[in-house]
Each structure stands twice: as C-alpha cells, then as structure tokens.
Structure 1
Amino acid sequence: MPLQNRVNPEGEICCSPARGTLMGNRGCLHNDAQQIVSRSKRDAWVTCLLAFQNRKRAVMSPGNYTELFFLDEATALAAGHRPCATCRRDRYDAFLAAWGAGNRNGARVLAAEVDKQMKLDRTASQRLEATSLKGLPDGVIVKQKGTGTCYLVRGANLHPWAFAGYGPAEAMSTVGGHFVILTPASTVKALQHGYRAQIHPSAT
C-alpha cells in the first residue's frame, strides 16, 4: 500500500504508486503511524531535489518533516510550493527574481514576503477562474470545472495531468468550458516574467 505522500495540482496529499521528480516540505504532517493528520505546519511550502549531498532520509520518520512528492515543478507550483533555498538555490534565486518582477515592479523580495502572499494565493477562494486560457504562460496548470480534469498549459496545447505523467497534447481551441487556474496568481506572474517551470518528460 503506497504512503499518502503524493501531491496533486490542487495541493491535496494523496496515495499513488507513481514516482515523482521532486520532493516537497510543509513541515511534519504525519503521526507515528505514517498517517497524514495535517495539511500544513508552516507558511513556507518548498520543493527539493530527490537527492542532495548524499543525504539519506527514512520517509515519514516520527517527528521529522513529511516528505511529499510531485510529478514535476509545474505540479508543485500549482499546489502552492516554491523552490528550496538550500538544495535548489539557482532555481530559488530565479523564482524570487521573477516573482519580484511580476508582483513588485521588479523590487527585490525576501522569501518571507513570497511565502506570506503564496499562503493567501493557494486558498481555494483566491484561485482565478476563466473561460479562455489564451495568454497564460507555459507551466500553468488549470482544472476544467465540468470534468475535473487538470491540464498543463504548454504553448497552444493542453496536456491532461495524472500522477504518472501527462497525456497527449490537445489543442487549446478544442478544449472548452469553464476553468479554475490552479497555479497561484502571484506564481503565474512569475512565469510571465521569465521563470520557466521544469516539466515532466511526458509533456515534452
């Protein structure tokens, strides 16, 4: 039975045997029986490399932070996470620079400011809705309200999301309906100002 430690684009922590390409951290969310008992224990939701400096961790150890796993960075960003400043320093620096360009008129921002805004942005009530997806940058993930299907935006195409990877591209013009933009609004602006989300090979 797989552990409940895979995260979907809506930020929900789920069970899936599929492997991810990034790990994440929201604090210690599990009990001694490796059961998820909390959605978050900190404002800073980060994404980390699967391997870093030969460090070894026993997944969901008692009292330690809960290791969460994501299909790719686009999924993690949609769920409300940002790059870790330790193991993904180059990505962290690039994200904060693009975030400041998109949200603070180019001003330098600190991680605490980003985390505070993203905490607000990732609540369901703050997610934007749209009937047209034109103009959204690559790496944004949306959910079609009628079907509940999540899609990755990539150029003029949409790729259906799943824990194991993305499905074949569908022309954006052929996928109609009402959409929820899952990627937080401030992160969308970072993507519009130069940050490039790392995408699972199944979509490339």
Structure 2
Amino acid sequence: MRGLFTGNRGIIHRPDGTLGTARWSHKHWLVCTLTHPKGRYHGPMPDRGWSALFFLDEAVALTAGHRPCHYCRRDAYRAWAAAWARATGAPPERMAMDSALHHARVTRTRQQVRHQAECDTLPDYSFILWNDRAHMVHTDALHPYTPDGYGTPVPRPKGKVIVLTPAPTVNVLAAGYVPLRHPSVEV
C-alpha cells in the first residue's frame, strides 16, 4: 500500500531512481494528492522530476514536517493557512511557514527535531514516541502507527512525552486544522 497522500521535497533521487544522501532539495515540503489535478503522471522517480514520497495519511505527512500543497489541495491549504494565522498571529506567507517548519523538523545533521510536552495538552493528530513506537494522539487514546494503518488504540498516558510532530504543526492542529486520516482510525 502506498498511502493516501504523496509528498514533495524536490528531486532527491539519483538517475537510477535510488535515493541519494539528500532528504530534501528545498524547504517547501508539501502534502499532495496521489493524482495530479490535470491528470499528469510522471512516475515515482523520473529524471528531472520530483521524488514522490508516500504517506499513510495526512497526519503522518504533517508529522514528517510537510504542509498541504497550495496547488493540488487548495481547500486544505486555505484551512492550514487560516489555522497558522490563528496559531501564530502572523500572516500565513508560504515562505515564512516553510522556513519555520524547516527549522522545527530537522537539524543541520538531518536528525528529526523532537520536543517534550505534557501528553494531555497535545491536540488530536499529533504524534508521540511511546514505548519506542510512533503513536497518533486521538481523543483519549493513542493509535499505534504501522505502514498499513493504525493499530488497536491504547489509553493516552499522563505526563511528559516525546513529541514527533514539529512544534509549529502542533500549534496549527491546536488552532483547529483537521488532517485527513486513514480509515483505520476510529473517529
């Protein structure tokens, strides 16, 4: 299964289709539809075309540091931008959002930026590391992530936890942005 969404970080593959050492070629990490709005298909790793990444759902893509694409997901982008403005008090300018997200998602040595928070303060659809495994927070439960869907929910823990979702994205979720989720999440 390839997931519900694709992601764009630019061209990060070699001519033979394998990934090189780069994990991005620009700061505009986007969550895109699986099909191009104009019906175009370039394949997952074409020469001189962006490298397609696949995400189970939008909550996973947001945790990876992506934001909705303003071209193929215009309504989602508008909702994201409005939540960004509510969360930050700043106008939702794409370059500024992407720069803030970039600093909050990865270090210069390509390590994921993680932070801590009280679990009961986290908004739905945030991801945490719990028992050495990624879990999505939803209502009073944690949903363990697998590449094929979410597992059986477990009770949400109390106290500080390691948050995998970038801090600006946590704030956007808290400001009301609701990502599209895989059907394995009980809503």
TM over 0.5: yes
> Out of 159, 162, 171, which is 1:180 matched to?
162
- Given that 2:128 and 2:137 are in contact with CA atoms closer than 8 Å, whether structure 1 keeps it comes out as yes
- Given that 2:64 and 2:105 are in contact with CA atoms closer than 8 Å, whether structure 1 keeps it comes out as yes
Read off the aligned partner of 1:30 and give its amino acid letter: H
Pairs aligned (count)? 180
Percentage identity across paired residues of the two chains:
36
Listed as ranges, the gaps of 5+ residues in structure 2 are none
In the TM superposition, residue 179 of structure 1 has moved relative to its aligned partner by: 2.9
Secondary structure, aligned partner of 2:78: helix
In the TM superposition, residue 160 of structure 1 has moved relative to its aligned partner by: 0.2
- Pairwise CA RMSD: 1.6
1:193 aligns with 2:175: yes
1:19 aligns with 2:5: no
> Out of 167, 170, 185, which is 2:151 matched to?
167
1:84 aligns with 2:69: yes
Distance 1:20 1:32 in 2: 24
Stretches of 4+ aligned residues off by more than 6 angstroms: none
> Out of 60, 63, 70, which is 2:55 matched to?
70
In the TM superposition, residue 56 of structure 1 has moved relative to its aligned partner by: 1.7
1:31 aligns with 2:26: no
- Given that 2:4 and 2:57 are in contact with CA atoms closer than 8 Å, whether structure 1 keeps it comes out as yes
Alignment CA distance shift 1:29-1:156 (3 Å): same
Q: Taking structure 2 as the reference length, what is the TM-score of the superposition?
A: 0.91
CA-to-aligned-CA distance 1:103-140 (integer Å, 9 cap, x gap)? 2x2x322000000000000025742124x410211110
Matched residue, 2:114? 127
Secondary structure, aligned partner of 2:124: coil
Distance 2:159 2:76 in 1: 34
Matched residue, 2:127? 141
